[in-house]
């Protein structure tokens, strides 16, 4: 079936640097995308979302880019901090309203 996947399972980043987490999706009908952050022992925390009629959206220190042509989504975190260490998931949904998640990227911030 359709699936959402992340390019890399782990990412190590120096504190203060920018992080880029990538995600590829295969369902061309997907029209809504969400990035979540999950810390150990907690549920996924909403970070930012984007609909398919946009190609970029910015939040506080985060930017999501959507390239529908190649079905690619990325999350950019500016000035990565130790508190950003977590597992990041992209999720997509189409008109069936169920979220399909990628496998997740574990981000480790080096001091």
Residue of the chain from 19, 80, 85, 100 that contacts other proteins (CB under 8 A): 100
DSSP state for residue 99 in the 8-state scheme: -
CB 104 → other proteins: shortest distance, Å?
Answer: 7
Residue with tokens 């989504």: 73
45 counts as binding other proteins under rule CB under 8 A: yes
Three-state SS for 84? Answer: helix
97 counts as binding other proteins under rule CB under 8 A: yes
CB 16 → other proteins: shortest distance, Å?
Answer: 29
Residue 109 to residues 29, 43, 91, 98: CA-CA distances in angstroms?
A: 35, 20, 23, 31
Choose between 75 and 104: whose C-beta lies nearer to other proteins. 104
**Residue 32: beta bridge partners?**
51, 93
If one counts every other C-beta atom within 10 angstroms of the C-beta of residue 30, the result is 21
> For residues 13 and 78, what is the distance between their CA atoms, to the nearest angstrom?
11
Residue of the chain from 7, 74, 99, 106 that contacts other proteins (CB under 8 A): 99
98 counts as binding other proteins under rule CB under 8 A: yes
CB 69 → other proteins: shortest distance, Å?
Answer: 23
Contacts with other proteins, residue ranges (CB under 8 A)? 32, 34, 36, 42-46, 49, 89, 91, 93, 95-104
């Amino acid at each position: 079936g359709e699936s959402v996947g992340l390019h890399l399972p782990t990412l190590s980043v120096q504190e203060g640097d920018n992080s880029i987490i990538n995600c590829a999706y295969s369902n061309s009908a997907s029209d809504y995308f969400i990035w979540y952050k999950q810390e150990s022992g907690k549920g996924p925390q909403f970070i930012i979302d984007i609909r398919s009629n946009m190609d970029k959206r910015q939040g506080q220190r985060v930017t999501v880019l959507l390239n529908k042509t190649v079905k690619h989504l990325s999350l950019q975190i500016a000035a990565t901090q130790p508190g950003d260490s977590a597992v990041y998931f992209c999720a997509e949904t189409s008109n069936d309203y169920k979220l399909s998640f990628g496998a997740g990227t574990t981000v480790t911030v080096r001091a």
